[in-house]
Amino acid sequence: MPTALVTGASAGLGRALAAALVRRRWTVIGDGRDPAALASAAGEAGFTAVPGDVTDPAHRAALADACPELDLLVNNASALGVSPLPPLARYPVADLEDVYRVNVFAPLALTQLLLPALTAARGVVIDISSDAAVEAYEGWGGYGSAKAALDQVTAVLGVEHPDLSVYAIDPGDLRTAMHQRAFPGEDISDRPLPETAVPAFLRVLDERPPSGRYRAADLLVTA
């Protein structure tokens, strides 16, 4: 069975992706910062839980130990940053550093660690992007610029490792806890559930298009 590592698998899109891969008979390892939430998700979906924070080098090493063979890495764990979203002129730099640490540095560090296993499998790397990476939304300068940096990291990795399939995928606005934090006090029930984006990711796995940046909405429309 192929093996996948999904970060941020305790809730939202990560949990939905992990569950979908298990249903496809993949061996799935998932991580998350909340051990109880991760254990609940793992028990329900059937994946192996390795709790911890992806910004912690020791935790990344534990993840690598858990999957010596790896076909798919999904860098899904993300941090929104300060809520309510502040303008860049007032963004606390220490908080912005935390956003970059989670959204850019940790995915790259984990990918570096797992490249030998992924290369041996001619595997897939999926980094979760956002429309805020390419659109200038007021208040989204911290999160959006971090996702833009992740997009560029993803693109360069794809060029440098042509034997791998390396994707940045924008799932669109989804009804998740992180998205709710971006709109405190607002009703986001009109946003689709994370499960609705999963078929786009599965299509990428099945068809292996050229490495690059893709929007889930486009993949779903053309499916």
Domains in the chain, number: 1
For residue 145, give the CATH number of its domain.
3.40.50.720
The question of whether 214 is a catalytic residue gets the answer: no
- Give residue 56's domain range: 3-222
Q: Which of 24-28, 53-57, 188-192 has the lowest mean pLDDT?
A: 188-192
| Assigned token pair, 158 | 């794809």
Q: Is the separation of the CB atoms in 74 and 7 below 8 Å?
A: yes
- Note the pLDDT of residue 149: 98
Q: Is the separation of the CB atoms in 190 and 147 below 8 Å?
A: no
Q: Which of 91, 100, 137, 143 is catalytic?
A: 143
- Residue 35's identity, in one-letter code, is P
Q: Which one-letter DSSP state was computed for residue 89?
A: G
Helix, strand, coil shares of the chain, percent, nearest 5, are 50, 15, 35
Q: Distance between CA atoms of 35 and 171, rounded to whole angstroms?
A: 25
pTM of the prediction? Answer: 0.95
User: For residue range 52-99, what is the model confidence (pLDDT) as tens digits?
Assistant: 999 999 999 999 999 999 999 999 999 988 999 999 999 999 999 999
Give residues with Cβ within 8 angstroms of 2, minimum separation 6: 26, 27, 71, 72, 121
